[in-house]
Amino acid sequence: MSDATTTDLYEVTMALSYLREGMTGPATFSLFVRDLPAERGFLVAAGLESALDHLSGLQVGPEDVDAFAAALHRPPRDLEPLLGLRFTGRVRAVPEGRVVLAGEPLLEVTAPLPQAQLVETYVLNQLSHQTTIASKAARCVLAASGHPVVDFSLRRTHGPQAGFQAARLGAMTGFAGTSNVAAATAVDVPAVGTMAHSFVEAFPTEEEAFRAFARAHPGPVTFLVDTYDTEAGVRVAARVLRDLDLGPGCAVRLDSGDLEDLAVRARAVLDGAGLRDVRITVSGGLDEYAVDDLVRSGAPIDVYAVGTRVGVSADAPYLDSAYKMVEYDGRPVMKLSSAKVTAPGQKQVFRRPGCADVIGLADEPPPPEGTPLLETVMRDGRRTGERSTLGECRERFAADLAALPPAARRIRAPVAPRATPSERLSTLTDHVRRRLAERTAAPAARHGVSEPSPSGSHRSVPS
């Protein structure tokens, strides 16, 4: 089987139905986040490269058809219309690393309807997860206020692929390194790490453990000092570091307890030993909130290692994301379900100073000082250019982060900018809404049924 089967069953049943009905006209689906999670003033677009890899390699083969048939308890011949299906469409998207807001399309897919439908689940999965993690990582960088942040999340992420993505997205948003060796090698960022408490426990004393570690690793080392008594551990580490004269770049790591108080005491011990260049690294359940508190306290901490809570975005582990049809065969469509109304038509997002963004139609000119965010990244099922480098993603992120209003960058109680619709988009939305209301009212009137409320009705399109 191929990745074509990494999809929800209803994508298969709908795509098959479309093929049998001859509904293969071009459809545009828009992927967006309805509302930002609590305590988020912005999102960072991510996951596009993974989605494009999937789309460019998509082709339904015989084994995939067999898998679909088995899932539906039907003979394979019933699913043969799907055989050979591949993605031949166009993708317009916000490049990775850019800041985005609620309601703004991160990506729009235009392809024959069965293709555009079948890819929904995979594309949503990649953009939703990676945008979630990138946004969490970005807040850690903000909270650290210039101090290095490193990724320790692999052991607690939801699978190795998620761990790899967390390391890459941390690097994209400004992390200084990762403990994930595979990710560090693949994306060319520093691999970082220290030792576990078990290493210290394996030796009769802390000093023997530290000296053995230094013998195996003659370069800069970081000693974990809180296995027993933290302040005593710092004193032992200071003695070993001074005796061995390992040079700049060495550190001690605090992994538990009152990190603010322990960092102050550790700094005093190190400075008293003449080791002012030995850094203090802290870890242990940190996220942007804890980092923000420590930075504001003035604690003498040099490096923040974040893991579990960032790798799974513990306080906001998902996005209210959607992939909705906005046009079929040249006809704008929309959904009118209560609290889930969508806007019709292919769109563009125009970034203006201060993130005073305007969401307009794809073919309308930009407003004053507005620059378009969505770019054509795939045409006829093929990428239009080379994949973005990590450096390019970092540059986009840094520029957009600097341009955000200060209130949106706050760690606690941020105020997110809100994009506004253009006049042309508002006009089209009103027109399509009236057309749908008239269409639903006519059958009801013929059968003597009271007209349903437009806010409670919806067009019969895939949800």
- In this structure, the strands spanning 251-254 and 222-224 are parallel
The pLDDT value recorded for residue 460 is: 37
The pLDDT value recorded for residue 185 is: 97
Asked if 411 and 42 touch (Cβ cutoff 8 Å), the reply is: no
At 362, the pLDDT band (50, 70, 90 cuts) reads very high
At 72, the pLDDT band (50, 70, 90 cuts) reads very high
The pLDDT value recorded for residue 86 is: 97
The pLDDT value recorded for residue 452 is: 43
Quick one: what percent of the chain has pLDDT higher than 70?
A: 95
3-133+316-442 and 193-278: identical CATH topology: no
Q: pTM, whole model, 2 decimals?
A: 0.93
> What is the arithmetic mean of pLDDT over 89-94?
98
Looking at the domain that runs over 3-133+316-442, which CATH code has it been given?
A: 3.20.140.10
The pLDDT value recorded for residue 451 is: 44
Q: Which residues contact 255 (CB under 8 A, 6 or more apart)?
A: 197, 224, 226, 282, 283, 284
Quick one: what percent of the chain has pLDDT higher than 90?
A: 90
The pLDDT value recorded for residue 104 is: 98
At 439, the pLDDT band (50, 70, 90 cuts) reads confident
> What is the arithmetic mean of pLDDT over 436-453?
64
Q: Which residues contact 17 (CB under 8 A, 6 or more apart)?
A: none
At 445, the pLDDT band (50, 70, 90 cuts) reads low
> What is the arithmetic mean of pLDDT over 257-283?
97
Higher pLDDT, 443 or 308: 308
Q: Reduce the DSSP state of residue 107 to 3 states and report it.
A: strand
The pLDDT value recorded for residue 291 is: 98
> Given a cut of 70, is residue 348 above it in pLDDT?
yes
Order of strands, edge to edge, in the sheet holding 251-254? 177-178, 149-151, 303-306, 279-282, 251-254, 222-224
> Given a cut of 90, is residue 26 above it in pLDDT?
yes
> Given a cut of 60, is residue 463 above it in pLDDT?
no
User: C-alpha dihedral over 18, 21, 27, 32, to 10 degrees?
Assistant: -30
The pLDDT value recorded for residue 444 is: 60
Buried b (16+ CB within 10 A) or exposed e, 70-93: eeeeeeeeebebbeebebebbbbb
> Given a cut of 70, is residue 455 above it in pLDDT?
no
> Given a cut of 80, is residue 446 above it in pLDDT?
no
Place of tokens 């099922």: 381
Taking the CA of residue 346 as centre, how many other CA atoms within 13 Å lie in the half-sphere pointing to its CB?
21
Looking at the domain that runs over 193-278, which CATH code has it been given?
A: 3.20.20.70
**Average per-residue pLDDT for the chain:** 94
Q: Reduce the DSSP state of residue 93 to 3 states and report it.
A: strand
Domain ranges of the chain: 3-133+316-442, 193-278
Assigned token pair, 374:
């969505």
